[in-house]
Amino acid sequence: MAYALKDKIVATGSIRGTINRILNVIAFLSIPHQVTNFIHRLRGVHVGKKAHIAKYVYIDDRNPEAVWIGDGVAVCAGSRILAHQRDLTNYKKGMWGMQNPLKIMPVRLEDGCHIGIGATILPGVTVGKGAIIAAGAVVSKDVPPYCVAAGVPAKVVKEFD
């Protein structure tokens, strides 16, 4: 099985999936952050220079190559970054949720943004340059550059000039 992501075909075999999941567990528990960053890069996540991914961060283990983390980004402990969800386009009464195919939606954390403790970034979201996501926020829509987003679902609560 394979799927296209930005003009490249990505293999999704069970061996690759198993390796990704094992590396994700190691990264989840590793310290210091340089080791965590290295392991996520091995998994296919784009991790920029001087990014800081804390331990206990979950980055999509099914589609790590769909996650882009820019330079100087901080992702605090307990955060989750998801890059896939069920496509409910053809979902109807009598079906099971698992009968719907997965839809891969890339996530971008632009340079210098900060993801607070326990925040969740949902598939298809771009967090703008220098934006701050409050602790525990659930980000379901794009966040503009240089602002603070908080809440469930996250909304912009402050903008900076």
Residues with a catalytic annotation lie at 84
Give which of 138, 118, 114, 116 is closest to 128, Cα–Cα: 114
Mode of pairing for the β-strands spanning 67-69 and 138-139:
unpaired
Q: Which one-letter DSSP state was computed for residue 128? A: P
| Cα radius of gyration (the chain) | 16
Our CA angle for 41, 56, 75, nearest 5°, is: 65
Handedness of CA 7, 126, 112, 60 (dihedral sign): negative
For residue 84, give the H/E element and its range.
strand 84-86
